[in-house]
Amino acid sequence: MDICTSSPSVLCEISASDVTILEGHTSEVFVCAWSPVGSLLASGSGDSTARIWSIPDGPCSSSMQSGPPNVLVLKHFKGRTNEKSKDVTTLDWNGEGTLLATGSYDGQARIWSRDGELRSTLNKHKGPIFSLKWNKKGDCLLSGSVDKTAIVWDVKTGEWKQQFEFHSAPTLDVDWRNNVSFATCSTDNMIYVCKIGEIRAIKTFSGHQGEVNAIKWDPTGSLLASCSDDFTAKIWSMKQDKYVHDLREHVKEIYTIRWSPTGPGTNNPNQQLVLASASFDSTIKLWEVEHGNLLYSLNGHRDPVYSVAFSPNGEYLASGSLDKCMNIWSTREGKLVKTYTGNGGIFEVCWNKEGDKIAACFANNTVCVMDFRM
């Protein structure tokens, strides 16, 4: 199973011996994220818990024979009832890997220590939180909610610093540009760039004809990518009001986008910056950013692609789909190099910082950790 031939028609299945299946969640696992330091993996589920798994270094198969990995269960409810309103919808580690923030369907954001201790409960939103991000400095947490607003929280005090009420419909995603400014997007088709201390948006991006599902700043914070139910992804610059590029190759809604960790200001400065977009049309598209040209269309999934993640060196892209497959593609050649089939649709995939392990979270209540070596 481990022998990969270079022939593109022969696919390399990731062998079951290279995969550890983490069991414990009692409902779908929506989100997962590796700590930026150490070997901790966080997962968030519809069972009203987040979990922090300690994943030993070394190959998955050998390290796991000593029994299941240690896990901390972060309960988002008091008492025994499993209330559906407490689904963990989003989570994010701070830059030091010392604190984990979780966002929940109950409208509360919570901050936990890496030891699983609840540090603070951030309570002001009036609807489910759909996205949550730490700034780089780690002194502020940003949340976006169905209540149409985004809130910046002062992490030290656990109090809210500022609430931004620009959208006319639910806020779907938020992303920091730097330590004081960020972007938000919504089902109202609009994108706003906001700054702490400013009562008006410092930039408004309009041009999408459908709800904007995700936004991401490039590694230098100069370009903002967005993707929408209007089948397009767009690239925006603070220097102009109209989009820089209108990326139209998908034939269904685009659920998520990711920038490669390459180009100026990254650890891989000699490789070009690439944008990946993942769609309900079952494809992933890789775009070069300078001219907005399509580099590759990655075809292989049979159902909507919910998540994509670049490896730390930018050479590979992992994708997870409702077709139960996690695929790994070469970004240089645009080819499928490895695949793994699980037992449920995949909601998110993520790489550890070393780039030798990938986690995927599934609709059948499991989280899988795979060894990656070419």
Q: Would you give per-residue pLDDT tens digits along the chain (374 residues)?
A: 344 444 444 568 998 889 999 999 999 999 999 999 979 999 999 999 999 999 988 888 655 555 667 999 999 987 655 556 789 999 999 999 999 999 999 999 999 999 999 999 999 999 999 999 999 999 999 999 999 999 999 999 999 999 999 999 999 999 999 999 999 999 999 999 999 999 999 999 999 999 999 999 999 999 999 999 999 999 999 999 999 999 999 999 999 999 999 999 999 999 999 999 999 999 999 999 999 999 999 999 999 999 999 999 999 999 999 999 999 999 999 999 999 999 999 999 999 999 999 999 999 999 999 999 88
Give the side-chain half-sphere CA count within 13 A for 204: 8
Hey, which residues does 60 pair with through a beta bridge? Answer: none
Q: How far, in Å, CA of 358 to CA of 368, rounded?
A: 8
Residues 186, 170 contacting (CB under 8 angstroms): yes
| Predicted local distance difference test score (pLDDT) of residue 57 | 85
| Predicted local distance difference test score (pLDDT) of residue 84 | 60
| Predicted local distance difference test score (pLDDT) of residue 42 | 98
Q: How far, in Å, CA of 172 to CA of 150, rounded?
A: 10
Q: How far, in Å, CA of 282 to CA of 286, rounded?
A: 14
Pairing of strands 346-351, 305-310: unpaired
| Predicted local distance difference test score (pLDDT) of residue 373 | 87
Give the side-chain half-sphere CA count within 13 A for 65: 6
Pairing of strands 19-22, 367-371: antiparallel
**What is the arrangement of strands in the sheet containing 245-247, beginning at the earlier edge strand?**
212-217, 223-228, 233-237, 245-247
Give the other-Cβ count within 10 Å of 223's Cβ: 20
**What is the arrangement of strands in the sheet containing 71-75, beginning at the earlier edge strand?**
29-34, 40-45, 49-54, 71-75
| Predicted local distance difference test score (pLDDT) of residue 62 | 58
- Distances in Å between the alpha carbon of 175 and those of 139, 181, 193, 236, 240? 15, 9, 9, 14, 19
Tokens standing for residue 255:
């659920």
Where are the alpha helices (H) located in the chain, listed in sequence order? 60-63
What 337-341 contacts at long range (C-beta under 8 Å, 24+ apart), as own/partner pairs, is 337/4, 337/12, 337/374, 338/4, 338/11, 338/12, 338/13, 338/14, 338/372, 339/11, 339/12, 339/13, 339/14, 339/300, 340/13, 340/14, 340/19, 340/368, 340/370, 341/13
CA-atom Rg of the chain in angstroms: 20
Second CATH level (architecture) for the domain 16-371: 7 Propeller (2.130)
| Predicted local distance difference test score (pLDDT) of residue 36 | 96
Q: How far, in Å, CA of 257 to CA of 242, rounded?
A: 19
Residue type, 94: N
Characterise 239 by phi-psi region: left (phi > 0), alpha (psi -120 to 50), beta (else): alpha
Hey, which residues does 294 pair with through a beta bridge? Answer: 287
What is the domain partition of the chain in residue ranges? Answer: 16-371
Q: Which residues contact 20 (CB under 8 A, 6 or more apart)?
A: 55, 60, 61, 63, 64, 69, 368, 369, 370
Among 370, 278, 272, 351, which residue's Cα sits nearest to residue 309? Answer: 351
